[in-house]
Chain A
Amino acid sequence: MDEARLRALMLKGLAGDGAAHRMFLAEASSALRGYFRNRLRDAPDDAEDLVQETIIALHTRRGTYDSSYPVTAWFYAIARHRLIDHIRRRKRRGQSVPIEDAEDAALVQPVQEASDARRDVAALLDRLPEKQRTAIRLIKLEQKSVKEAAVITGWSESDLKVSTHRGLKSLAKLFRDEAPA
């Protein structure tokens, strides 16, 4: 895991460089996939769900990264937190819980081949409140600019930005709370 390169991508992303942020999330997801598959050896289907859940968290909470610390420490702390939350949810549903036999996060190999997630973000998007869903659809999926989206919907630009931001947070919550298929 190249801390220096990831850190540079993260900082560029924080400054608004979409391509750098995309690369950061892509590399993080490979690392996370290896990490979660390693810890959920008896439940590999859940690993991709956790990758997606953590990627959403890394994006919506990217403001919590403090550049005086390593970025890998930051995202592994979030990944571990999501894993513990996942295990607690499984326990509450009376499902099996993975055995505590895991390698050090730094030693696990990244995995680029994604499997299918069990939860479908597309379906969850449909469950968002209309304003949030529309904002995300126009700006994030259809790649319209905020200006264009404002003209289409008649809402203000700041209103759209707030709705997008809230929508992603709602998505994170739906993803977390929804039991897998």
Chain B
Amino acid sequence: MKTDDLIDLLSSDLEPEKPAGAKPWALAVGLGLLGAVVLMMVTLGPRPDLIPALPLMLAKMAISALLAAAALPLVMRLARPGRPLGLGAMIGAGLLVLGAVAAVIALTDLYFRVQTGAPIPKCLVFVPLYALPAAGLLTWIVRNMAPTRLMLAGAAIGAAAGGLGAVAYSVYCPIDRLHPVLAWYVLSIAICAGVGALVGPRALRW
């Protein structure tokens, strides 16, 4: 078919384009979080002393939600072609530095735990697991838009989904000192972002 004919084909009977707005993103976050909570309930379940530990749990959820909320605008930007990241680039770089610091803290904490026989945090495995529903939904939305930086988009999706996974994980998390929790959570979310960066170029191809 000649290019001119193709253009005729595409432009005939044109409907106005209805912008999708925030609704798909809100649905992805809501359903993704729901999926994370369901996964948590059927795997680790809530910690038995949940009621007395409620303020601590809420603090962990707030931290996780904040991290997800920082990553989500990046996902939305990276879903469209070529726009400069601007403030988003700084947020991304900040999250990277945070991840590195968290890794160091978490590793020193791990060392002491191994030495003293304290339990090894399960969040490294379960936060990525709980992140899967949100990651799947966000990937589907982004792939149906027009991402042009697939590794970055994948990393941002991983970070946002990881934050949501951590919110759900907080219902189980038995560790009561906030400072190692912060390090381990950030590290778990960073792992989700790393996996997202690796998988992005394949999963987001359009």
B interface residues with partner A (beta carbon < 8 Å)? 1-4, 6-17, 19-20, 79-83, 145-146, 148, 205-206
Contact = CB atoms under 8 A, between A and B. Distances in A.
Contacts of B80: 64-66, 74
A77 B13 contact: no
Interface centre among A22, A65, A136 (most CB of B within 10 A): A22
Question: Looking at chain A's contact residues, is the secondary structure mostly helix, strand, loop, or mixed?
Answer: helix
Contacts of B11: 13, 18-19, 21-22, 25, 59
A157 B81 CA distance: 31
Nearest to B145: A64
Nearest to A120: B1
B81 A77 contact: yes
A57 to B, nearest CB: 7
B103 to A, nearest CB: 32
Contact of A139 (B3, B12, B16, B17): B12
Contacts of B205: 85
9 A-B pairs with least C-beta separation: A77-B82, A16-B16, A77-B81, A22-B11, A121-B1, A18-B14, A64-B146, A61-B146, A81-B148
A46 interface: no
Contacts of A56: 6, 10
A162 to B, nearest CB: 11
13 contacts: A14-B16, A18-B12, A18-B13, A22-B8, A64-B79, A64-B81, A76-B82, A78-B82, A80-B82, A81-B81, A120-B1, A121-B1, A141-B12
Interface in A12-49: 13-19, 21-22, 25-26, 29, 48
Contacts of B6: 52, 55-56, 121
